């Protein structure tokens, strides 16, 4: 029993040592011969690691219960250590359990945190989140807004009140509580509202009306209340609501006149605007491009007292806008922005900004240092006609399109009331446009919005130029569908002349009104003709007569100038692009050579010419042409 003191319990790990392993018999023999110096036994692994003379170690497989080994080790006086691997297993299990507990606690904390955030969102769901700009933080002023001088003058009173309120209150004046900015998209309504805040140096709240409306009932009204409560705390300030028609549409327009969430939001908005105290320092600016759909209660005095029209800029306004955007771009000294302002009628401020941006992109692509006229021209064609396509290769199709475009351009040059020709080209554009003819509208007509009957008739004749050229040159059986868009434009113009403008034999009667957007449930069922079937037949006959007269006059002019049309077509096929000045120079030279001294083109009555019986020219190609201009 004394030898049992050599038996200890230790827990190091067993590993296979270097050298040739012993067998069980070899281990017992080594113990008996005194060659073993130390034994390490792991009953769970059924292995014994023996240290021999010279420090060599070996691992031997044994049985879990081996009294012989213990007896031999005791008899030889060799230290025997028994490894208890249960302690290591228990420690490993404990660590695994602790890790599992830690993971559970972390998961619970994450879930509780997300639940807290969701609760916070639920509690703040009715709070509006307007974008607040502090006073003197807005750098935009009236100098950065060009082309809308009338609107800026209207808003000068708002700026003066925010800067000097005593000047108005001392004489009992009340500043308008709300100002509605009305105008087409891209005219600068939002920029103008920011400029008012920048000039006045006050806080500026901006939010879109669509952010008020939510799926849940009452959320929109709650957000409206929260917005005006924040505004009153920051007074004097400006509250700007963009696209207010999203919540301000007329009430009772739905099927059955339901009381939906949008109407609840509108009702709350009406109440809050009435809740403004006189001269409280909170001014509401709103923008929309659909004032016709707004509720009448929203537009009454005391809510939106002023309606400021932010219309498309005129020629001088477009030039000022181009100068503003040219400050940050290298423009060549040869570029005349006044000329480009004249060539872009109907462009809004956003369109002009996009035009110069596209020109800058083309300049960078061509590795130039400044923007030149050709870059602006490429940008203009890109934004109006689309991306360039592959040039036409088929000579027959190219000639057919050339005659089509020359028909438009020649009629515009011959008629006094037509718009000036800017460019005619055969270079195709994406979208199936094989070529196009661009005109410069009369500035007086664009600015005033008034158009005469003679000008409308001239426009229809020019629009029929493509079809008339095909009839005169190729005959009735060889016309193509390339004039489909031109015929649609003529039909629309002729119908407006008959049904809205009173330019027909039926008299000055407006048979149809503006085709505005209908409200389902209120106006939908009323969209029926208010005239009889006989009147409808008469209207259709008048529209047909106007369209036929336009085509007959186009055929008459082109037939009498057939040699000139052939010459212009050959010139266009050779050059592919002819500017308006070049085109007019060719026409003037031809007229001086052929026209009598007292001949004046474009006036007088139209000669009755049957275009369908014109002498046809052999068709140059068997396939149809692309889209016309």
Q: Which residues are catalytic?
A: 405
Cα separation, 196 vs 176, whole angstroms? 14
Contact 482, 474 (CB under 8 A): no
CB neighbours of residue 300 within 10 Å: 12
SS3 string of 579-597?
A: EHHHHHHHHHHHHHHHCCC
Nearest alpha-carbon partner for 59 in 76, 44, 39? 39
| H-helix or E-strand spanning residue 323 | helix 315-325
SS3 string of 600-628?
A: CCCCCCCCCCCHHHCCCCCCCCCCCCCEC
Q: Which two tokens stand for residue 94?
A: 């404990």
To which residue do tokens 């109006």 refer? Answer: 384
Round to the nearest angstrom and report the end-to-end CA distance of the chain.
Answer: 118
Phi-psi region of 475 (alpha: psi -120 to 50; beta: other; left: phi over 0): left
| H-helix or E-strand spanning residue 420 | strand 420-425
Contact 583, 409 (CB under 8 A): yes
DSSP secondary structure string, 331-355?
A: B-TT--HHHHHHT-TT--HHHHHHH
Nearest alpha-carbon partner for 220 in 268, 160, 176? 268
Q: Which two tokens stand for residue 485?
A: 């868009």
Between the alpha carbon of residue 388 and those of residues 15, 158, 315, 428, 615, the distances in Å are 77, 47, 28, 6, 36
Q: Is the dihedral of CA 394, 397, 400, 402 positive or negative?
A: negative
3-state class of 10 per DSSP? strand
Contact 414, 432 (CB under 8 A): no
Contact 483, 404 (CB under 8 A): yes
Q: Is the dihedral of CA 315, 319, 325, 326 positive or negative?
A: positive
Cα separation, 145 vs 189, whole angstroms? 10
SS3 string of 227-284?
A: HHHHHHHCCCEEEEEECCHHHHECCCCCHHHCCCHHHHHHHHHHHHHHCCCCCCCEEE
To which residue do tokens 């190609």 refer? Answer: 621
Q: What are phi and psi of 361, to 5 degrees?
A: -65, -45
To which residue do tokens 């068709």 refer? Answer: 619
Strand partners, 285: 179, 240
Q: Between the CA atoms of 475, 569, 492 and 446, what dihedral angle is there, to the nearest 10 degrees?
A: -160
């Amino acid at each position: 029993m004394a030898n049992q003191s050599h038996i200890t319990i230790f827990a190091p790990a067993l590993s296979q040592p270097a050298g040739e392993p012993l067998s069980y018999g070899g281990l017992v023999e080594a113990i008996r011969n005194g060659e073993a110096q130390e034994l390490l036994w792991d009953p769970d692994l059924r292995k014994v690691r023996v240290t021999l003379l010279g420090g060599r170690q070996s691992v031997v497989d044994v049985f879990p219960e081996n009294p012989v080994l213990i007896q031999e080790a005791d008899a030889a006086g060799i230290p025997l250590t028994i490894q208890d691997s249960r302690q290591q297993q228990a420690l490993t299990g404990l660590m695994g359990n602790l890790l599992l507990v830690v993971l559970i606690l972390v998961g619970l904390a994450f879930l509780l945190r997300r639940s807290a955030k969701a609760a916070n969102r639920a509690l703040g769901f009715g709070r509006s989140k307007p974008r607040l700009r502090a006073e003197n933080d807005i750098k935009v002023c009236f100098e950065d807004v060009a082309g809308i001088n009338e609107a800026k003058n209207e808003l000068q009173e708002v700026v003066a009140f925010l800067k000097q309120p005593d000047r108005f209150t001392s004489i009992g004046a009340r500043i308008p509580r709300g100002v509605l900015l009305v105008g087409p998209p891209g005219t600068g309504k939002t920029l103008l509202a920011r400029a008012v805040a920048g000039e006045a140096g006050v806080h500026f709240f901006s939010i879109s009306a669509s952010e008020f409306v939510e799926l849940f009932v009452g959320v929109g009204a709650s957000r409206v209340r929260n917005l005006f409560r924040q505004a009153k705390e920051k007074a004097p300030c400006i509250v700007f609501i963009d696209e207010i028609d999203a919540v301000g549409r007329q009430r009772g327009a739905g099927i059955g006149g339901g009381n939906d969430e949008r109407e609840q939001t509108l009702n709350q908005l009406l109440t809050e605007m009435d809740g403004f105290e006189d001269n409280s320092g909170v001014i509401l600016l709103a923008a929309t491009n659909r004032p016709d759909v707004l509720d009448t209660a929203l537009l009454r005095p005391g809510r939106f007292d002023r309606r400021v029209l932010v219309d498309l800029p005129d020629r001088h306004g477009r030039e000022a806008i181009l100068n503003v955007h040219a400050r940050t771009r290298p423009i060549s000294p040869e570029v005349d922005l006044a000329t480009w302002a004249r060539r872009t009628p109907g462009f809004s401020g956003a369109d002009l900004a996009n035009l110069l941006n596209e020109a800058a992109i083309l300049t960078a692509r061509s590795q130039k240092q400044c923007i030149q006229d050709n870059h602006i021209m490429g940008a203009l064609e890109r934004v109006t006609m689309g991306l360039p396509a592959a040039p036409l290769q088929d000579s027959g199709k190219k000639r057919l399109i050339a005659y089509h475009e020359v028909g438009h351009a020649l009629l515009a040059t011959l008629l006094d009331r037509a718009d000036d020709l800017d460019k005619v080209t055969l270079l195709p554009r994406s979208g199936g446009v094989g070529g196009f003819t661009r005109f410069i509208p009369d500035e007086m007509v664009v600015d005033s919005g008034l158009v005469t009957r003679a000008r409308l008739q001239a426009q229809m004749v020019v629009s029929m130029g493509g079809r008339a050229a095909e009839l005169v040159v190729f005959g009735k059986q060889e016309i193509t569908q390339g004039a489909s868009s031109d015929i649609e434009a003529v039909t629309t113009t002729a119908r407006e002349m008959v049904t809205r403008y009173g330019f027909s034999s039926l008299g000055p009667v407006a048979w149809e009104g503006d085709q505005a957007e209908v409200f389902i449930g209120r106006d939908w069922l009323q969209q029926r003709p208010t005239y009889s079937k006989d009147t409808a037949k008469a209207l259709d006959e008048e529209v047909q007569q106007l369209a036929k007269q336009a085509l007959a006059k186009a055929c008459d002019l082109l037939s009498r100038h057939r040699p000139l049309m052939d010459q212009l077509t050959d010139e266009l096929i050779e050059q592919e692009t002819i500017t308006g000045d070049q085109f007019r120079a060719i026409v003037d030279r031809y007229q001086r050579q052929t026209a009598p001294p007292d001949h004046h083109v474009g006036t007088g009555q139209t000669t009755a010419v049957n275009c369908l019986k014109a002498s046809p020219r052999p068709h140059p190609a068997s396939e149809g042409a692309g889209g016309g201009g």
